[in-house]
Amino acid sequence: MTHVTHPAPGAAKPRLVVIGNGMAGIRAVEDLIDRAPGLYDITVFGAEPRVNYNRIMLSPLLSGEKTFAEIVLNDRDWYDANGITLHAGDPVVRIDRLRRQVVARSGLAVPYDRLIVATGSSPIVIPVPGATLPGVVTFRDVDDVDAMLDASAKGGSAVVIGGGLLGLEAAVGLKARGMDVTVLHLAGHVMERQLDASAGHLLAEELRRRGLTVLTGADTAAILGDDRVTGVRLRDGTDIAADIVVMAVGIRPDARLAGEAGLDVERGVVVDDHMTTSDPAIFAVGECVQHRGQCYGLVQPLFEMAKVLGARLAGLEGAGYVGSVTSTKLKVTGVDVFSAGDFSGGPGTEDIVFRDAGRGVYKRVVLQDGRVKGAVLYGDTADGAWYFQLLKAGEDVSDRRDTLLFGQAFAAAGAGTGNPTDAVAALPDDAEICGCNGVCKGTIVQAITTKGLTTLDEVKAHTKAAGSCGSCAGLVEGLLAHTLGGAYEAAAIKPLCKCTEHDHDSVRRLIKSQGLKSIPAVMQALEWKTPDGCASCRPALNFYLLAAWPGEYVDHAASRFVNERVHANIQKDGTYSVVPRMWGGLTNAKELRAIADVVDKFAIPTVKVTGGQRIDLLGIRKEDLPAVWADLNAAGMVSGHAYGKSLRTVKTCVGSEWCRFGTQAAMSIGIDLERLTWGSWTPHKFKMAVSGCPRNCAEATIKDFGVVATDGGFDLYVGGNGGIKVRACDLLTKVTTEAEVHEYVGAFMQLYREEARYLERTAPWIERVGLDFVKKRIVEDAGNRAALNARFLESQRHSQSDPWAEQTQKHAASFKTLATVE
């Protein structure tokens, strides 16, 4: 094995060029940088005009469960921080081995000392008439997803050719987008490479229950259409209408570039155990590779190759890559499936089978000579890692075959070796936990103990375990719990409530992506466990629908909390308090006289000035609330929303209007802001304040949005709150005009409404997403700030004309209805 000589200080670094910006090539670069940072001058060419992203997550991107930003593996900052030159959207078209340079489509020629070919694979398009028609797409990259999203936005029907993993994921994603979907699969059962016939049958039935049409043994004869696809014809003469056709019948190594350069190519680019091609200066890694006669399409072996190549380029001794024993753990349309090894059976093998169709659980373990040869799990995959470990170790399981299907926890408990719930702890240190990234138990435990890791995200960052498909996250959580004991507190994303498995963020994305515009529609589409939801999810769904579809969705009063329904705060004795709005904390004789008259008329026992510069009327009977509000509305007073998940108050000092220290007119600015934002619905209560000078008498720096006047303009603060856990605001930016203040308020409130979870104040929201996230969206991107503010103003146009916001000023009858809703 040749060694890499580290350059002397000041000497030119060797030039490493990477053809391919995908998962395998960049993983090799990551491993190289971890082992020998700064060793090479690195240039990366990518065919797509994007940074490195997780291709495994294309399906959640299609269904709307993920955004592109959430599947990015390395952003531009990572390339810059590591001195990597990225040419995205400019693929290499020629390798000149004589001159040791690559030539890109743009004509750019870059020399190399070492070259990595990581060109991946190409989707197979079956050669039938009509295969090149517009509307026929594959499913390999973000452009394919965009094409499917464009088609699904118009509705209609889709045909997916191929019932393998990618085909089913495409079908489920298009179904989630509202299309009628038919899956055509040539084999006798779906996912025949990962599942046996029984598990494939169960999966197909589940897909049919979810509204997809699944046809097995379906041979495509032609794709129909003249200028654009209109359907698919089968060999038996059946025609199926289609507005889009997705080809997902398989992949082949993309070795064209390597072959044209004269490298040894068979099915893929031929490499040795150290990923070296027939040219010692050129290496290859990933799906384009053929190693010991094998080509791989799963991410686990690709990352194993990348690890070997990273060490090779760093000049480290290593055993080399000897091939991969693969397992597959997936979630298909919400169903967990697992397979490993050879589960085809055959002479000399035995099957041990467990089947519970009612629960949707199927397990099959194939034995040969008393050892696990293969396994298929459907519906319950908790023991997948254990079976895979037994398979790789070649362990004789003859003495436990009677209980093998009961799983590792049963085996551990029966042997007296531990609590069944700690089954993951019984795995040996070399047991593979994360198949995608080839991370074993010992590596994870060592990282937890030596680096002081306490959360799943930290383990992902340091080991990459659970960082790709995420199916091993439960095992990693188990290792955290076992290693840390009582010090561990799971930080997994929690479902919105007991009625659903979806968390807040997923619900918000799916409402938009699937065009769901009512609470029943959400519950139906997202498979709510209860028919009508509960007191936790209904208010959240009501808010998310209001935020997603302003002007279209009709606020559902019965789904609001009782305080919001009756426009008053319930007190401990069962009476209510009413807080009329006082713009910017200012009032006048007419308003005070109206309050005094209401206090006398209804014998209200307590009148208090609130911390928000308003007057609270406490001790009102529920049956008097409509009449109290009617009298206050008659004087022009509307609700202060002291109970609402909305704007509460805009607190002001007297500012330059009266104070000798004031630099700006705090009261008029505060009134303008309150009139601009009142009646808005937000994830939680929202408070603002305007201080007329840096003395900050209005306490603007502990509000959700604070404005502090200076001699030159205004300092804008966000994310503060008082209460049990006081949080001082973060400085968002400095502006010079009142118009800018208005725009920033609107943009910030809209970003908060669109991104935060229901019942999440701005303070924990900013702590969760980071101030930089807010600044990038609002301060650094003027166009996005303007767009956010425009959406805010549009939503205010609807909310401020809504009976919930204006109360009885124009709609006394509607308020009476709201006040009596239970």
Binding residues for siroheme: 697
Tokens, residue 414: 């029966």
The whole-angstrom separation of Cα 597 and Cα 496 is: 45
Q: Extract the annotated binding site for [4Fe-4S] cluster.
A: 653, 659, 693, 697
Residues with Cβ within 8 Å of 145's Cβ and at least 6 positions away in sequence, in order, are 58, 61, 62, 139
The whole-angstrom separation of Cα 385 and Cα 383 is: 6
Type of residue found at 253: P
The whole-angstrom separation of Cα 272 and Cα 88 is: 29
Helix (H) or strand (E) holding 478: helix 473-484
CB atoms within 10 A of CB 80: 11
The answer to whether 526 and 507 are in contact (CB under 8 A) is: yes
The answer to whether 446 and 425 are in contact (CB under 8 A) is: no
Residues with Cβ within 8 Å of 428's Cβ and at least 6 positions away in sequence, in order, are 389, 393, 441
Q: Which of 822, 818, 787 is nearest to 804 (CA)?
A: 818
Type of residue found at 671: I
CB atoms within 10 A of CB 188: 11
The answer to whether 654 and 662 are in contact (CB under 8 A) is: yes
Phi, psi of 231, deg, nearest 5: 175, 180
The answer to whether 610 and 648 are in contact (CB under 8 A) is: no
CB atoms within 10 A of CB 243: 20
Burial 263-298, CB ≥16 within 10 A → b, else e: bebeebbbbebbbbbebeebbbbbbbbbbeeebbbb
Extended beta strands in 505-566, E state:
none
The whole-angstrom separation of Cα 436 and Cα 648 is: 49
Q: How far is CA 817 from CA 555, 598, 602, 798, 804, in A?
A: 14, 21, 20, 20, 11
Kindly report the three-state secondary structure assignment for every residue of 237-293.
CCEEECCEEEECCCEEECCHHHHHCCCCECCCEEECCCCECCCCCEEECCCCEEECC
Type of residue found at 423: A
The whole-angstrom separation of Cα 325 and Cα 430 is: 14
Q: Extract the annotated binding site.
A: 653, 659, 693, 697
Q: Following DSSP, what letter does each residue of 731-798 receive, concatenated?
A: EEEEESSHHHHHHHHHHHHHHHHHHSPTT--HHHHHHHH-HHHHHHHHTS-HHHHHHHHHHHHHHHHH
The answer to whether 774 and 732 are in contact (CB under 8 A) is: yes
Cα 324 versus chain centre, distance: 30
The whole-angstrom separation of Cα 168 and Cα 414 is: 39
Tokens, residue 480: 């955290």
